[in-house]
Structure 1
């Protein structure tokens, strides 16, 4: 029998991963950041911006809870 190995949640989301995860455009994400309604990104290197996966998942859970 083969076992399915579950991939661990990434520590960071880059913009393409984040867009796919949330099914929204990059401009929507940046607008939310600017408005303060979405976690701010982390600068990992000079040309590398990412979002903490824990912050994004907590934000998603809060949106789900707010819709109930």
Structure 2
């Protein structure tokens, strides 16, 4: 039996995979992971039970980008 991933997506939001996340945020995969580990970047969500596929909510990435722009 296959388990479904536990992801709730608001109607106005969508999922973003790694390539698009890199384009939107302009930071590398490893840098995003490091920032995520210390709570400075949106948490990834597992799309598959094994965790092979991860995604981010576009709204959370947009909030992070906006917060970075305020720092400048």
> What is the alpha-carbon root mean square deviation over aligned residues?
1.5
Give aligned pairs, total: 58
2:63 paired residue number: 58
Paired with 1:23 and 1:64, the residues of 2 have a C-alpha distance of 13
CA deviations 1:7-66 (Å, max 9, x no partner) are xxx711111111122222110111110111001011122232101100000111111112
Pick the structure with more strand per residue: 1
Structure exhibiting the larger radius of gyration computed from Cα positions: 1
> TM-score by structure 2 length?
0.70
Unmatched runs of 5 consecutive residues or more in structure 2: 1-12
Which 4+ runs in 1 deviate beyond 6 A? none
Pick the structure with more helix per residue: 1
Unmatched runs of 5 consecutive residues or more in structure 1: 1-9
1:48 to 53, 57, 64: 53
Answer 1 or 2: higher relative contact order, Cα 8 Å, separation at least 6: 2
